[in-house]
Chain A
């Protein structure tokens, strides 16, 4: 690898590898080797070399993922795309950008905002996560409620397959001939191919925005308001909920203006034509009042708006102040079931003896319960994971799914049997094998390892890959 990439682009000392053993999840997996390619051709050569030694390969962006997708579960070579971080082309007239996978999400928006454009997917980690990672996980964010998740904004991909072959799928205009392979690869969590170049669709900024903060005495009233907003056909650009416990922690840290004595707040944003958002904001306010909101505030200016969003986006950092660690879950339910879901989560928290906070994308039913625990306490770790499984089970029982935006990874692969049948796995497995027949790319992810539905092997030749 050093011959291939130069010594500066290869890490192999145990203390260097330690950093790559973790991501944003509660999982762990240490690579044997970390490499930093600069080009697609280098990626292809790395993959070929790894295949020669029958060593697994896993891709990684910024390592902000929350389901262990970018961890080397089976050891092997980790390809970190941080140095493939160039914006290759900007076409602001036709709203397209071609980027390398290591480009940071927010950097792309910054590069095009002079033309009143932006890249729509906006995960909370937008300041550090990479677009390659967004593609792998089909990342969402608060504003995906109105604008869709990553897959809705990807037009074409360049990929490196496990045998080193370089292929392109999709097209610059975003329409595909034959099968929609772009639609398959986005969100496949690095288990089918490595993404080395992405053509994204850029969105035009709305001419007007209104940000409202609706304050409720109870979380039940706030969730009922979300149900009503959806049922009335109002589609805000974003509709986020913070429960009372979480907003107090955030407020102590950020001073965003969240009322400390409330039971829950909704942060709702409407965007569009000036004439449209007047009516939408009024309708949102009306619904909130009908659902017993104590107060509905309108952000007066850009500063107030930024502050409210800072409160939302810094929440996970704020939580770090009150517990040694937090486990951010990700489940999804029909929006009509939001009140029941939150009640179930509360019950499960009590059952396992945890404080569970809630700060999430209420508008699209994407829950993020946060379990506070101490990772040094083995018993607490196990209980946190057990509680999370219970919560995901509850989501499925309510008609939902395992994950809305964080991915399955190695966090939920064993839970996949809650949703999928033997026949579903058999087909998914054949699709997996069509691209990644030896499971040499990102093994041990998505598919359950324990059940008799076709185990994805984590195999490796008995070679010492340490340099």
Chain B
């Protein structure tokens, strides 16, 4: 173990559901408790907290719990903490924590992402969204055209692949079919029923070429990743997973001015920061808020060339649980629920520790990639069990 490196120690997850009544703070505490238990740490040993995107009062379902609240609720004596949305997407919070422990600012950092979008929608009196007369900021460039959802923005990147590179619906379907097959083996997954190709192809279109099953759905859950300093691993009882490389980028922080998505420069940068090669990777956990993002990440990370993502996943065998590059083995966000980025880091650690149960990949996986975002913001982590 290298003293100056950052490791993932404990990981935890709350129940994953919709319209949960347990409060978002307590869901977060559930995930914290599980992560501490696994790491063999007590809350008194935690000296840092990192979250994305911090508490968002204007849209509480999106992010109901901030670092401030968790720190005070659990009596954490933090020497470093951070929380905010102006970072290279959700796993940017893990990147920040890794940088902090490497710089000696903290020893054990709780990183968390708590979502409560389904409950908030069901209980608008408690979690209302403000009604604005007029839109401003970046929304003004899309909302007046009723390009309201990220699906509208992502779909246009996907359409370039359909029209210029021949991406077929039957190919794109493999992301959703793989996710749902894997979710069926994950006891915590939100959707446990497998999806057939016929069901996919006959689903209603949301924003072409993306149909209902290409989209994740509102979820209530919390995910925790504890990042520990290499010099503090003697306090940790679980197998540490090294954060071997990290990369992130922002493409204009805009869904329409950037010609291509931020996953591409991020994927290229990741390989500049490590001696590992794509062929060394045992499993990939790639952001799939919309299925096409996972396709783009496969291209961005160099598993295939730009525009060849569709043929790379054709038939689904390659990315299946028993394939050469198992993808989103927990079900991704499409199957397991919209954990919003953190689920991908959680699952990489599960697999690298051999704790996947019915969904554990074969062999002795040692290297995994986790990503979040991919549109205007992107983060990629290369994780290794040494």
- Determine if chain A interacts with chain B: no
Residues of A within 8 A of B (CB): none
Residues of B within 8 A of A (CB): none
